[in-house]
Amino acid sequence: MSRDHDDHPRFVPPCINEDDPAPSTKGGRRPVAQYVRELALGAIVLLGAVLLALRTSGEPAPVARLVMAAPAANACGSATPVLINPDGTSTPLPASVTLNSNAYRRIYICEPATLTLHAHGSAVDGVGARLSVAWQDTTLFDEPIDGDRVLSLQVPGAGWVLVAFTNDLNKPPADRNLQLDEIDLQPVSTP
């Protein structure tokens, strides 16, 4: 440990010689820039490993946080609500979509509404396709689906709704997928 200008202890990595005004590789020590690059590369590799583990483990993803993390333009000016794809393209509702890998779609809702989903999930190792639906930061539905299921979810107000498939798994010949045969949205009349 060394001390900063206010005489507080601070951590200095052992590979850095802070007394050397131009750090070099003298004495087996690495330059500061190289150390920082190695730290950044290590963090990227670790993040990649975590993402790969999540993709292949079948564990659910934190879907409600994705809603807030991926905002796009408000669609209340259009006559028909649309399903927004990850690439930014849109499809008018009602819509159908097949999710063959962990993926999501977004819908901007302008008022309280009923979201209807006709879903079909396939199972691998006895676990169905996990369908997660979130509004703003609230989870409306998050369960595995094996077979056919019709959901009618109440969306309490304006905001982003995220529909996601979060536990893709392919173990040939079995392949866990989620088919949403119909995604529809009907406004709820308020008194």
CATH of the domain at 159: 2.60.120.680
CA distance 181 to 163: 13
Instruction: For residues 172 and 136, state if they share a domain.
Output: yes
CA distance 48 to 76: 37
Instruction: For residues 83 and 109, state if they share a domain.
Output: yes
Does residue 3 sit within a domain? no
β-strands 90-92, 103-109 pairing:
unpaired
Instruction: For residues 41 and 75, state if they share a domain.
Output: no
Does residue 2 sit within a domain? no
Q: Mean pLDDT throughout 63-91?
A: 62
Q: What is the total count of domains within the chain?
A: 2
Give the phi and the psi of residue 118 in degrees, each rounded to 5: -100, 105
pTM over the 0.85 mark = no
Enclosing domain of residue 73: 60-187
Give the model's pLDDT for residue 69. 46
Does residue 4 sit within a domain? no
* Residue 58: band (very low, low, confident or very high) from pLDDT cuts 50, 70, 90: very low
Does residue 101 sit within a domain? yes
Does residue 156 sit within a domain? yes
* Residue 64: band (very low, low, confident or very high) from pLDDT cuts 50, 70, 90: very low
- CA 160 distance to own-chain centroid: 14
Kindly tell me if the per-residue pLDDT of 102 is higher than 70. yes
pLDDT for 18-47, tens place per residue? 555 554 445 555 566 776 677 666 667 666
Instruction: For residues 39 and 131, state if they share a domain.
Output: no
